[in-house]
Every structure is written in structure tokens, then in C-alpha cells.
Amino acid sequence: RPLMHTASAILLFVLYFVSVNAQPCTEDDLQYMYTSCENSAVRYLISYYPSTCTVSTPPPPIQTLDCSLTCPAGHFLAPPYTDCQPCPAGQHAVNTVTFDSWSYWPENWFTDCQFTKPTANSTKRQQCEPWQLSGDGSGIYSKQHSTVHNLRSSVTYRPRVINYPEPGAKASFSFSYLVSSEYSYDGLEVWVDGSKAELGGAQRKTYLISGTSQADYRTVTVPLSQTGANSAGIHEIKFVYVKDEDTSAGDDTVQIKDITISGTRRYASSCIICEPGTFSRDSGSEKCEKCPENHWSYDPNGATDCEPCPEGQWAPAGASDCRPRPECRPHDFYPTYGPCDKTQKRNVTYRLINDICTGGTTSESMPSTVQCAPCAGGSFWNSKHGKCEFCGDGMASGTTEANCTKCEAGFVAIKEWLITDFAQLVEFQPNVEDILLDTDSDEDYDTMQDAGKGTAAEWIINGWESISVPPSDTSDEDNDGEWAMALRSSRTQTASSVMINTKLYTSGSLYLKWEMVPNEDTTRQVFTVQVITSEKHFYHDFDSTEDFELGGLHAGDISIVLEYHRDDSGTSGGKPDSKIALQQRPRPKPRGPAPKQPKIDYVVLHQLILKGSELGGAVQCEPCPAGHRCPALSAAPIPCQVGFHSSAAEQSKCEECPANSASYTAGTTECTTCGEGTTPNSDKSSCTTDCSYEFTDADTNRAQEFDLSALQSAVFGSIITDPPSNTMLTPYDFTDETTLADLLHNADMRSERLYFVQLCNPITKTELLCPDDEIPVNGSYVCTRKTLASSWSLGKLVKSVSPVKATGSNFYDGLLMSFHKGDDYQQQDEEHAEQWLGGGEGYGAEDTEDDEDTPAIDCNGNTDIGTEVLLKCSPDVVELSDHKMQLVTDGFVRECVFRFEMKTAYACPKCTDNDYVITVEPCVNGSSRHQYVAKKPCVGVPTDEVKSCVNCQQADYKKVLEDCVNGKQKVRWITSIDCQNPPEGPPKEEMVDCVTCQRETDYQAVLTPCIDGKQTKSWIVKDGTSCWENGTNRQVEIVDCTVEQGGLPPLVVAGIIAVIVAVALLSVGVCWWRYRQLHVKYSALAEGQLQQPSEP
């Protein structure tokens, strides 16, 4: 209690001291505040003195304000005022809410991402990602979804809108956007209160902003009420990036910044001082204007005007100070060259393109005559015409050669378009913007799509500028001499693009040389190269300087798109918080030294070489590539026609495919051997089959035949009727035009992949089913397509046909047909596992599992993509309309091989006589039924039939005794003529006692060869004898050999031998005697003792 008394005393003393020593209150001490408008149509302005002064006079009376008071732009409302006050000159005010700084998500902002169609990765929410804050805090953007489809990524804001009292006033919002997406299908939608908003001018109504040609941010304003009413309350604004079922283009994203919403507050509570480099001359200004070029402003209280720069200085628009003008140098002048004369010299004039520099080099000090540059490769100097001209077809010249050289057979001169002087292609304009193209209109987009058709080359430039650079050193702009003209990305825009539309007359390549100038103050810079042809769409981002080359470009239209983007760091200023009053706003710092000029990064395009373009000449005679032929003076290699090939380079002609092989496409290096069951057609463009096959069963060594000719003209395709199915294939009737129309336009199948199979012949309806330049004119056995997308061949040739045996079976029950040489394809996402298979049976069931670790399958040139069709023997499926083919494996997901299955009677082997049994019913009234029953599944079993018949009589039967067993034997009867058993049946079979065989009548003797005068004698039953042997009549005997039995007595044999020896000795003696006579005679003749005979 003593402490409390002490504290009270001290407090009373302090209050007394303050009241005695406080100064009297003046008008400057008055403070003001507004009461709240909550639940009231009016509010009050209250004035009061602070407690630090002595009140001598009462404060002003309380004043009333209408809560519906609204101030126009350029005005503010703050105590002590009861009405709107104009902002003084040098300041401005807005009554809108602006979101231009995004270091965090503001209140009442929400973002989400949802799949619009179930896919294999629909459960992977990390692949459908919501919007993100930009790295520099300047805006928001939708996350890139280049490999994911069928989604809507959105960001939503719910502002509270007030009711304007002024007639005709409307609440609205504006924003700046930058879209890069597939044209017309993916892009930005804006929804207001659940309704899709129109995003375009009066001449072009659109609900989707899309495309890849936008180079810089654009701004659009949208009413907050799509019905035209201005109802107060909470509204919903939703920005949505949508993606359809396939195809990605550009960056596949949208960026949004500087969102301004009107109608959300009635007045500004303060004025904003104009930033340095800006001004406002009049009071009540809505915004501050930038100072024009060569002017500046810097006033901490807000500039009311801009000052001109002193002599010898300059400033860009919006500058806060002036800088000294640099001296002009040679590269600040744009040269215009005249024609070369016969001495290879030309006149040159100069135009100053740098309006900043002063003094220094002048156009008069530059040389007026220069030496013509040497002719580029592929051209020669024509002294008659006084200019460089391109070499003719089949001729080439290098950079050091003066004349063109004719190319010999086996070599080719492919022309190339070399661009180093870009100023010769487009009219020079510093800071070129939107030349030839304004993508705000559909008409201009169509022009861009048709570019290059019928013209040599079309250039569409946005945000690039021509600059002169020295050929010797592209990094030093201070060098003197003759400068080449390159393209440089704009240093005032954050995005620049150039599109070149032209044609290639033969296959070629693209080479680019550029220089990227980096800047550490820039968050990110990207140089994007897109090459678009009818066969491919190449897209790649580069973040540093490197040479770029892309080969494998086919003849036809080609578009080259070069884009440069940079993200400048830093935050935007000048937009105050609505709660900061005028007197509370901090003042700018006093003016100090001139700010340092910020570094700006950019990219310089120095050189472009397009090989295969007729806009240039050939620089060399290069070897003719394999698969082609090149006669002398060839300007392009000629692909070998189908049925021919060339396996080596430098060939002047192609060779015909060997026997039993074919080449199905032009430009083949090796012919393909025809598979089992197939033979090449007459022009060797395909391996064909008559759908008849014969195989030898290794187990039974029996020939088995199969005949699929009943399916020869059938094409099986995805079901497009109700309900549709892309994995179940049925026969198509090509005479029904409605079916074909439904195939291409059925809405339920538009996002699905369709399949088509023909077993015996290539599909002849290729132009309707699978239109694709890669599919040869003779068709494809299996192909696939989407109704709104491209198509692929899944097998152009029959690889093999082989029979199939069921597990544990000894007979064939089907055929496996394999097709190969399909189109190459690289699968880059996992979506197809469920989208294409749709939960099929067999192999396909496991393919639909959501396996995050499953790698992408690359069938691009490494694997022979093909198809296997398993035909299962099913004798009941005979009619074509009953056939159904099921997709069980998607080759884009598994192994690069598609697998189908189908039950059919024609996959059963043809029946032989051993494959069925005949059952003959009794003969009734001269006829009987013959029934044929197959022992195994096969086709060709004779149908049951009724044949005429004659009943057998008793005399037509012959008695047959079966073998005797244990003294008993069966007696049965067989017919000896063509007759059938009578209804009562044949004579009954019976068992009788066996008749004992008698040696005298039923046996015959059998003697073995004679040995030493002895031989063995045994007994066997005579043929045709039916009797029972009891074993006693089969005794074996040893007997003497007899002549009758085939032997001779020994004395007779000895006598015969003696006679033979005597005759031989007598013959020898006679011969010796005759010899001696002749010897004596001829000896005497030789000695002359005898006269020469007259005859020899």
C-alpha cells in the first residue's frame, strides 16, 4: 500500500508538470481521421489536438462524408479533406489495385493443376504442376509441361468489386502476357465468374491465346463482368494454361505480369511522386510520362518537366541524367555497295546509323572505292557481267578456286545457301520491330504457315537489328575496315525472333554460327533454334555460344525459327501500398553521381548455311551416298528406285535386288531377304504371299498345309462404332463411305490411336487409313495413326510365317505371322501405356501398370519396329464378320514389337485322310449316312453325306478265322463285293475250337543247307491253313543230304574236278607246241632262209 501511494503521487506530479509546461495548441497541431463506413452510408471526419499541447480553442466541428464518394484517376482523398483533391504536378495517382511484385503469393490467390483425361501418369501429381513465381519477382508463370498432356494448370484470384455510381462506369482488369505454345490447341484461357472471356480486338474474337511467334509481352483488358452488369461483391478471375491430348511446341508455358484491377477501391489515399526520368506537367495526372530521348529529369519532389541534355551529351528515353556522346567510328556507318566493275572494284557510300555519336569518323573520311570481295564458295567471277555468279548444276568451286569444276560420275554437287551479309536480305532498319508479321490476326498467321510456298525465301523479323561486325574479329567493334552485316537481338526488348521460310530441292543440312554476349545482371538468357519440315520438328535451347549443325533434312518446305529470350533482373518501383498516406511516403534520395549504364546481353547471328537450297552454289564434288546413283554433272543424288540398291558410295548406277529379296523404299542400301512363305513380286518392291503355306511336322514327318486366302482382302481396323475401341479390330467394309467419314471425325476416337492390319497383302487404302510420306506406294501390312495426328507403319514386309503348337500338344493349332521394317519412332513419355492399350488382355494387362521407373523405349534406328499377329485355330470362327483381332502389346511401350491375337478357322491346318474317321450308318432303303469326325482341329473335313447302297447277301460273305489262342479262335465274315451290311447286320461272329494241325496235310518241310553230308529238317504250317498247333508236330530231325534235297555225292564232285584239270593241261600243251612252230618259222625268215610271203 505505501508503494501504491508513492506511484500515484509521482503520476499526479508528472501530469501537473506537463499541463503547466505544455505549449498552446495551434492549427498546425490538428490531427484528422475518418471513421469507418461499416454498416453505414456516411462516415465522419474527426479533428483533434494531441496531448502534447494545451488546447486553447476547440477543434473544428465534425464533418460528414458520403461513403459512396469515388475519386477519378489523378485525384486522392485523405484527411483533412472531405472531397477529392487533384495530385499536384510532378505526381500522379491511380485508384486501382496492381500486382507487379511477386516475391510471395498475395492473399486470396490460389493455384492448381488438374488432368482433364485419365492417363497412365494421372496419379503422378508432380507431373501436373501448378503456377510458379518468377525468379526475379516480376510475375508468375505456368510450369512447363512439354511431356505431359490433357491438363489444365490454373491460378485464381477473388477481388471484391464495389458499385460505381457514375453511369457507364465498368470494373475491369488488365494484364501483360507472353505465350509460347502449340498454335490453336494449347495456350492461355481467362475465365471470369465461370465464363470464358474474350481475348482480342473487335476484328478478332478469340478465347485462346496461343502460338510461338510472340516476341515480347502484350497487354489485354478484360471486363470484370462478362454480362455487362456492374454488380458489387466478390468476383473470380482465373488464368488457365490448357494442353490437349498431344503435341508440344515452343516453351509450352505462359508468363503473366503487371495485373491491374479497377473497381476494387473508390479512391487513392495518396499521390505518387514521379520517378527519376519521368514527369507530369499538370495537376490531376493519372500517370507520369517518360522523358523523351536526349532529355532527363531528377527531382525528389517529382519533376514537372524534362530538361534537354547539354551540347555534346545524350540520354535514352526515361533517363535520369545525360552522358557524354562518344566519337563516331567506322562501324557506326552502314555501307551501301555498288556493283563490281570489270576490275573487281566497287563504289561504296555510307549512312550514319548511330544517332548518339558525334565527331570522329565522317562519311567523307571513309574510302569511296573498295576491292570486291572474293567470290564465295560455289560461285565464280563472271568478267563479262562484272559479278560473281553461282556454278551451274553438277559443278562446284571451293573458296580458293577461280573456276567451277564438273563433277564426274559417282559424285554430286549439292548447292548450299551461305548468308553472312544479312543486310542484303532485309531492308536495313535500326531496332527493327514486327517486320512482315503481326500475329494478332489469323490472316497473318496463315501467311506465316504458307511462307516459302512459291517464293524463294521469306523472312519474318521481330525485335532484331542489323549491325556491322568485322569478319576478322567479331568481338571487337573498334576495328576499322570493311564490316559484314549481321543480325543482333534487340537490346531494348526482352525477346527477339526471326523466321526463314524457304525450300530444299534435295536432302540437306543447316549450319548456324552465333555469338551470345552474357551479362551477370541477367537472370537467364536462351537462344532457341527450331527447324520445322514435313517430316520433323527439331527444337533446342542454348544458353551459351556454340556452333550448331543439323543434318538429315528432307527435300520440301522448311521453316527456321530463331528466338532469343532474356529475363532482366530487378524489381519495378513506383507503385505504393494503398494504405500509405501522402505525408507518410518516404522521399527519394538526393541526386548523386550519374547511375551506371546497365549491361544488356544479346546474341549476334553471324552466319547461316542451308545445304540443299537452290539459292546458292556447290562448294565441292562430294561422293554419291550409298543407296543413290549419281551420273556425271549431278546436282542431287538420285535415290535407287524400289527393287534396286547400291551398297557403297560413289556409284553411278543402282543394282537390281538379288533373287528372293526386295527393296520396299527408294534409296535402299541393302535389299531385304523375303521371309518364309513369301516371294518377291515382279518389280521386287515387296515380299508377297498368296496366304497358302506348307510346313513339315518334325515330330510326325508329315506335311501340313494352311490356307488364309479367305482373309486375303480383309483389312482389320479399330472399332469406331458405339462403343468405340482402339484395341479391338474388326473387318472394314471399304464400300461404306460413312464408315470412312466416321473414322476420321468420330469425336470419341479423336484422341485415341487407331490400328489397321491386313494379313495377306499390304493395305491398299493407305491414303485413307494411314496417310504418311514414309509409307511406300505399295502400302504397309500394319499401320497406326491418330485421327488428328501423324501415322506410322508398324511393318512394311512379311518377316516370317510359322506354325504354332499348343503346350503339351502334338499337332499345330495356329500360325504366327511376323512383319518388320516399320517406321522408326522414339517414345518420350509414358502416357501411352494406358491411353493406347485401354486395359487389353494378355500381355497388355501388365503394360497399364503405373510404373514410374519404366524407361522410355527408343525404337529410333536401333530396333526394327514390327508386329506379330498370333492366329489361333478356332474351327467355329468361319464368317468374316465374326473375326475380332485384339491388341495385346503396345510396341511403343514394350520391346518395339506390337502383338495382336485373333481366333479364326483359317489358322487350323488343312485336314488329310488320316486326320478324320468315317462312320457309316446301316443301309436303309438303298442309302446310308457317312459321317466324318476330325481327330484334331483342322479345316477341310468332308461334310456328312448320304450315299446309295446295296445290302449284302449270305453268299457275299467270306469266312475268316482269326489266330488260335488257347485252343479257341474267332470266326468273322467279310464281304468280297461293294455292298453294305443289311439292317439285321452281317453274320454273327463266334468263337470255335481250334482244329489241330496234321503233319501230313497242314505242314510243309523246311531243310537247312547241307554240311558234311548232314542237314536239319523242320516243319511249318502251310499258308492259308487255319489250324491249331499243339507243339508235337514241330519236332526237328537231322538227316543225310540227298540230291533231291540239293546235294551231290563226294565221288561225283571229285570226278568233275579231275576232268576239268585234264582239259586245262591238254590246252596248255597244245598252245606250247604251236608256239614253238611259229618261233622256228619266223626265226628262219629273219635270217633270209625263207622267201617273204606275198601276204602278211
Instruction: Read off the pLDDT of each residue in 580-598 and give the average, rounded to a whole number.
Output: 33
Task: Please tell me the least confidently modeled range out of 190-194, 301-305, 387-391, 425-429.
Answer: 425-429
CA dist list (Å): 61 to 31, 47, 57, 64: 13, 8, 12, 10
Q: Bridge-partner residues for 661, per DSSP?
A: 673
Q: What are phi and psi of 187, to 5 degrees?
A: 155, -160
Render pLDDT for 22-35 as a digit per residue (tens, 0 to 9): 688 888 888 899 88
Instruction: Please provide the average confidence, as pLDDT, over all residues in the chain.
Output: 76
Instruction: Read off the pLDDT of each residue in 1037-1041 and give the average, rounded to a whole number.
Output: 82
CA dist list (Å): 1095 to 44, 552, 1092: 177, 100, 9
Q: What are phi and psi of 249, to 5 degrees?
A: -145, 155
pLDDT given for residue 1083 in this prediction: 77
Render pLDDT for 65-89 as a digit per residue (tens, 0 to 9): 888 888 888 999 999 898 999 999 9
Instruction: Read off the pLDDT of each residue in 204-223 and give the average, rounded to a whole number.
Output: 78
Q: Is the pLDDT of residue 436 over 50?
A: no
Render pLDDT for 190-206 as a digit per residue (tens, 0 to 9): 999 888 888 865 445 67
DSSP characters for 932-956? Answer: EEESSS-B-PPPPEEEE--BPPGGG
Q: Give the count of alpha carbons within 13 A of 34, CB side only.
A: 18
Whether this model's pTM surpasses 0.95: no
Helices marked H in 818-935:
832-835, 844-847
pLDDT band at 462 (very low <50, low <70, confident <90, very high): low
Number of H helices, E strands in the chain: 8, 79
pLDDT given for residue 16 in this prediction: 46
State the amino acid at position 763 in one-letter form.
I
Task: Please tell me the least confidently modeled range out of 7-11, 627-631, 774-778, 835-839.
Answer: 835-839
Instruction: Read off the pLDDT of each residue in 158-173 and give the average, rounded to a whole number.
Output: 69
Q: Is 422 helix (H, G, I), strand (E, B) or coil?
A: helix
Provide the phi-psi class of 86: left if phi over 0, else alpha when psi is between -120 and 50, else beta: beta
Q: Higher pLDDT residue, 636 or 473?
A: 636
Radius of gyration from C-alpha coordinates of the chain: 52
Rounded to 5°, the CA angle 18-20-23 comes to: 80
Task: Please tell me the least confidently modeled range out of 28-42, 385-399, 403-417, 585-599.
Answer: 585-599
pLDDT band at 927 (very low <50, low <70, confident <90, very high): confident
Q: Bridge-partner residues for 961, per DSSP?
A: 971
Q: Is the pLDDT of residue 226 over 60?
A: no
pLDDT given for residue 392 in this prediction: 92
The contacts of residue 82 (CB under 8 Å, 6+ apart) are 45, 63, 64, 65
Q: d(Cα 944, Cα 919) in Å, to the nearest integer?
A: 10
Instruction: Read off the pLDDT of each residue in 390-418 and give the average, rounded to a whole number.
Output: 91
pLDDT given for residue 631 in this prediction: 95
Render pLDDT for 799-837 as a digit per residue (tens, 0 to 9): 888 898 877 777 888 999 988 888 765 433 333 323 322
CB atoms within 10 A of CB 794: 29
pLDDT given for residue 870 in this prediction: 94
pLDDT given for residue 1096 in this prediction: 45
Q: Is the pLDDT of residue 256 over 90?
A: yes
Q: Is the pLDDT of residue 715 over 70?
A: yes
The contacts of residue 315 (CB under 8 Å, 6+ apart) are 291, 293, 294, 295, 296, 309, 321, 322, 323
Q: d(Cα 215, Cα 212) in Å, to the nearest integer?
A: 8
Instruction: Read off the pLDDT of each residue in 868-881 and give the average, rounded to a whole number.
Output: 92
Q: Give the count of alpha carbons within 13 A of 75, CB side only.
A: 14
Q: Is the pLDDT of residue 523 over 70?
A: no
